[in-house]
């Protein structure tokens, strides 16, 4: 008898706020950000599609120089372009469908903003940024970038092992079936960009039973179906920017029913780290003493070199 993973909590769409002057985002995790409830994930900001007019200023919209230590940032450009550069000399453009997986590690100072071309011509920007915690033993690792283009990201037809294709998933990190994601991670992390176009279709997705699991709706609507396969299922409906936090109930199958056409989801999660979290601003360590050391290192110019 198949048991489908159950919903622990539904978090409805939060209010938006600006990050710098370029990113108008939903703080998706709300009050659960930086808690072990979502480990190894820390924070998730999503900017839904927003039109920006052509901008003639030499200073693009975005976020100025700021430091990070102790975790990774994952930036996905769904529409538009995001440019970045940092204190180690790295720079580049994250184009539509691309991902930048940045390991801050022992410390990096960077800035991110609308690309020069996007600023000049205007257009629609849709993006998200996920913060992923680093295990204690890797928090002071050397900073690195993984520039992942859309061509690098493997795509899996859904449902698995079926001739009737009802959707697709881009595997940014983790694995789905026999397909491994594009990103290299320090602990097991799942990040899937899922497209489900057909109303009424039901999709079963294998998901590691011991991993935290989060279903986020970019657009459209789904029902997460919980319970035993031969009994009446409980349906938890999610609309745009809603989140379902799934229980660690021993089930390794996630069942979804598509409610609106052209639905798009992000399915996220990973193996819990079960380590203390000390977070302050752009630093995430294990103790307050480590946070204070990070602040001192930044003020004394020892970070990002």
Which CATH architecture describes the domain 154-270? Sandwich (2.60)
282: Cβ contacts below 8 Å, ≥ 6 apart: 66, 67, 68, 69
Over the stretch 85-112, which tens digit does the pLDDT of each residue have? 988 888 999 999 999 999 999 999 999 9
Model pLDDT, residue 304 = 77
Model pLDDT, residue 90 = 86
Over the stretch 161-196, which tens digit does the pLDDT of each residue have? 888 999 999 999 999 999 999 999 999 999 999 999
234: Cβ contacts below 8 Å, ≥ 6 apart: 6, 7, 225, 226, 227
Is 271 a known ligand-binding residue?
no
Cα 71 to Cα 132: distance, rounded to the nearest angstrom: 6
Q: How confident is the model at residue 5 (pLDDT cuts 50, 70, 90)?
A: very high
Alpha-carbon distances of 14 from 30, 196, 238, 251, rounded to whole Å: 7, 23, 13, 29
Show the beta-strand stretches assigned E in 163-221: 167-173, 175-176, 179-180, 189-196, 202-206, 212-219
Over the stretch 25-75, which tens digit does the pLDDT of each residue have? 999 999 999 999 999 999 999 999 999 999 877 789 999 999 999 999 999
Is 228 a known ligand-binding residue?
no
Model pLDDT, residue 280 = 97
Cα 305 to Cα 37: distance, rounded to the nearest angstrom: 33
Q: Token pair for residue 168? A: 């697709």
Annotated domain spans of the chain? 15-151, 154-270
Over the stretch 210-241, which tens digit does the pLDDT of each residue have? 999 999 999 999 999 998 866 788 999 999 99
Model pLDDT, residue 256 = 97
Over the stretch 262-297, which tens digit does the pLDDT of each residue have? 999 999 999 999 999 999 999 999 999 999 999 999
Model pLDDT, residue 230 = 65
Q: Do domains 15-151 and 154-270 have the same CATH topology?
A: yes
Cα 249 to Cα 9: distance, rounded to the nearest angstrom: 13
Cα 96 to Cα 272: distance, rounded to the nearest angstrom: 30
pTM, rounded to two decimals: 0.96
The label of the residue with tokens 């580049």 reads: 92
Is 114 a known ligand-binding residue?
no
CATH 3.30.420.40 fits 15-151, yes or no: no
Is 198 a known ligand-binding residue?
no
Over the stretch 252-270, which tens digit does the pLDDT of each residue have? 999 999 999 999 999 999 9
The label of the residue with tokens 């994601």 reads: 181
């Amino acid at each position: 008898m198949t048991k489908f993973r159950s919903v622990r909590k539904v978090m409805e769409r939060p209010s938006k706020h600006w990050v710098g002057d370029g990113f108008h985002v939903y703080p998706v995790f709300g009050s659960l950000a930086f808690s072990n409830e979502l480990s190894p994930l820390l924070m998730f900001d999503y900017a839904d599609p927003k039109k920006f007019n052509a901008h003639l200023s030499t200073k693009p919209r975005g976020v100025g120089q700021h430091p990070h230590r102790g975790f990774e940032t994952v930036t996905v450009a769904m529409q538009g372009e995001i440019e970045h550069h940092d204190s180690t000399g790295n720079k580049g453009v994250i184009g539509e469908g691309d991902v930048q997986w940045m390991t801050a590690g022992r410390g990096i100072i960077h800035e991110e903003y609308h690309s020069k071309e996007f600023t000049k011509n205007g257009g629609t920007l849709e993006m998200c940024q996920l913060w992923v915690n680093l295990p204690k033993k890797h928090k002071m690792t050397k900073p690195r970038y993984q520039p992942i283009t859309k061509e690098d990201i493997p795509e899996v037809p859904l449902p698995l092992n079926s001739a009737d294709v009802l959707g697709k998933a881009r595997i940014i990190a983790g694995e789905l079936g026999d397909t491994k994601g594009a990103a290299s991670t320090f602990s097991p992390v799942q990040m899937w960009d899922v497209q489900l176009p057909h109303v009424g279709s039901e999709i079963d997705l294998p998901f590691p039973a011991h991993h935290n699991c989060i279903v986020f709706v970019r657009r459209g609507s789904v029902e997460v179906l919980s319970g035993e396969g031969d009994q009446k299922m409980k349906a938890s409906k999610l609309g745009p920017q809603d989140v379902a936090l799934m229980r660690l109930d021993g089930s390794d199958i996630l069942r979804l029913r598509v409610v609106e056409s052209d639905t798009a989801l992000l399915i996220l999660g990973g193996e819990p780290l079960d380590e203390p979290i000390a977070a302050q601003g752009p630093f995430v360590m294990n103790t307050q003493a480590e946070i204070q050391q990070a602040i001192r290192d930044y003020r004394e110019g020892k970070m990002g070199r």
